[in-house]
Structure 1
Amino acid sequence: MITIRFDARALFMRHCLPSVGILIVATLLLSGCTLLPDREPPPVVTSAEFQARIDQLEGAVTASCVSGQQARLDEQLNQQQALSADMREVGSLLRQLRGELARRDSEDDTPEVTRQCRDSQARLDNKEILGRSEWIGLPDVGTYLKARIDSGATTSSLSATEITRFERDGENWVRFKLGLNDGDSVIDSVRDEWIEAPVERRVRIIQASGEDSRPVISLLMTLGPLRETVQFTLNDRTHLDHPILLGRRFLMDIAVIDVAEQYLHERPEFPGGRPAEEADADEMADRDTEVKE
């Protein structure tokens, strides 16, 4: 007798399950058109358009890198120049200190009052005495101007308006006019004359109203027997009494201030200007007045 075993589960897996799978796949294929949203074909980009876009991106990246590098270089230059000025000031103080120590060692028996007088005289040797206001000359511009002498200011300043930046031979330049009031003493021919000069550096000025970045230029300046190239920041000083301010970087090692005096040196003469002996009339307005700057 032959015994036949009937395995219903195996029979279902062999014959029914493949049919069910086929049915599910067919259903998904038929319904796929309704399940997937309509999509527009991607735009066709030509090789020329692709290359142009790559060139544009390269240009933007290069410009960004150059701009950032220039800003860092300018900041480093400003820091280096400020550090050099501070080192000069420290060196001057050290030289004075060494001189005083040497004099004290050699003059221990000298009365105190006498030593103080000699020390004061030694500090004044080879230095010009300036009043709180003086006449200065700008040979490169061709005019004289009134200047306030202020040891509390670090950098000298020149009153300027209509300051315009431009580039010449790959370098930064500025074009400006002197910032003057109607009552300022000046050679009339330069009142509305454009002045051009290369930018030496830029300085950041922090005031109560906020920060301001100002260009710095170099101009030859005369004051009595002094003839020096001075760095000036450019900004509008028409609301002040003096179109020029001379700071301590100019004064260092060459001049001292007597705040009780004004106009100790004659006004320089330029073509088109009045003689130096007629400067008294222009100085009277500043005599015995309080400086507002």
Structure 2
Amino acid sequence: MRLKPLVLLLSLLMPCGLSLAAEKNVYGLNEYASLPELDDVLAAKLDTGAKTASLGARNIKRFKRNGDTWVRFNIGSDDTAPIEKPLARISKIKRRAGDFDPDEGKTYTARPVIELDVCMGNTLRTIEVNLTDRSAFQYPLLIGSEALKRFGALVDPSLKYAAGKPGCSNAAHSDE
């Protein structure tokens, strides 16, 4: 009969766990993500196995402005207007076995990282995204676990576009 105190303790703690889950936002494996600063809505893949978010970009160039490092890039086709954002940092992304070049000797790829406002559903957050060519992938935006934490996300891989079309206003911006 030693189990009774343990069962009692677990039953008291269970409502707390349920209320924490109720405060989370449920998203599907894929969601629409609005990038207000870039005036674009993209299909995104939510990937809890990836740490960082990645945005498909082309013509990625670093440059100096007033002593700070910035990044200039295009989203979509090369004939779109270039976007310029301050460089937040450089991310080291592990290379996969097929991507490793023994002559180069690096087991990682260095990617520029920017901060970007992203809206999913009615939730707007500023997240870090690394810039890379994602033209070989189905989704131009991958949202990793660090960004998913900021969204308070519960990801249900059986769902797609559970949050619907993005509906954020700048007044709804929150970085909780």
In the superposition, the TM-score normalised over structure 2's length comes to 0.78
Q: Which amino acid aligns with 1:267?
A: K
Following the alignment from structure 1 to structure 2, what is the Cα–Cα distance between the partners of residues 236 and 140? 20
The 5-angstrom pairing of residues 1-293 of structure 1 reads: 108-109=7-8, 118=15, 120-179=17-76, 192-207=80-95, 208=97, 209-210=99-100, 211-252=108-149, 254-268=152-166
Q: Any unmatched runs of 5+ in structure 2?
A: 101-107, 168-176
Q: Cα offset for 1:191? A: 6.9
SS of 2:57's equivalent? strand
Following the alignment from structure 2 to structure 1, what is the Cα–Cα distance between the partners of residues 160 and 117? 22
Q: Deviations over 1:51-105 (max 9, x none)?
A: xxxxxxxxxxxxxxxxxxxxxxxxxxxxxxxxxxxxxxxxxxxxxxxxxxxxxx8
* Identical residues among aligned pairs (%): 31
Q: Deviations over 1:99-157 (max 9, x none)?
A: xxxxxx8x9537x6x66863552231221000000001001000100000011000101
Report the structure, 1 or 2, having the larger helix content.
Answer: 1
RMSD: 2.6
Following the alignment from structure 1 to structure 2, what is the Cα–Cα distance between the partners of residues 267 and 124? 23
Change (3 A) 1:191 1:148: farther
Figure out how many residues of one structure are paired with residues of the other and give that number.
154
Q: Is the 8 A contact 1:179 1:237 kept in 2?
A: no
Q: Deviations over 1:8-51 (max 9, x none)?
A: xxxxxxxxxxxxxxxxxxxxxxxxxxxxxxxxxxxxxxxxxxxx
SS of 1:251's equivalent? helix
Following the alignment from structure 2 to structure 1, what is the Cα–Cα distance between the partners of residues 57 and 145? 21
Q: Cα offset for 1:193? A: 1.9
Following the alignment from structure 1 to structure 2, what is the Cα–Cα distance between the partners of residues 116 and 132? 29
Change (3 A) 1:241 1:191: farther
Q: Cα offset for 1:265? A: 1.7
Q: Cα offset for 1:164? A: 1.0
Following the alignment from structure 1 to structure 2, what is the Cα–Cα distance between the partners of residues 260 and 119? 26
Following the alignment from structure 1 to structure 2, what is the Cα–Cα distance between the partners of residues 147 and 121? 28
Q: Which has the larger radius of gyration?
A: 1
In the superposition, the TM-score normalised over structure 1's length comes to 0.48
Q: Cα offset for 1:194? A: 0.7
Q: Is the 8 A contact 2:44 2:143 kept in 1?
A: yes
Q: Is the 8 A contact 1:155 1:232 kept in 2?
A: yes
Following the alignment from structure 1 to structure 2, what is the Cα–Cα distance between the partners of residues 221 and 108? 43
Q: Cα offset for 1:268? A: 3.3
Q: Any unmatched runs of 5+ in structure 1?
A: 1-104, 181-189, 270-293
Q: Is the 8 A contact 1:174 1:197 kept in 2?
A: yes
Q: Which amino acid aligns with 2:39?
A: G
Structure ranking higher on relative contact order (CA contacts 8 Å, 6+ apart): 2
Q: Deviations over 1:274-293 (max 9, x none)?
A: xxxxxxxxxxxxxxxxxxxx
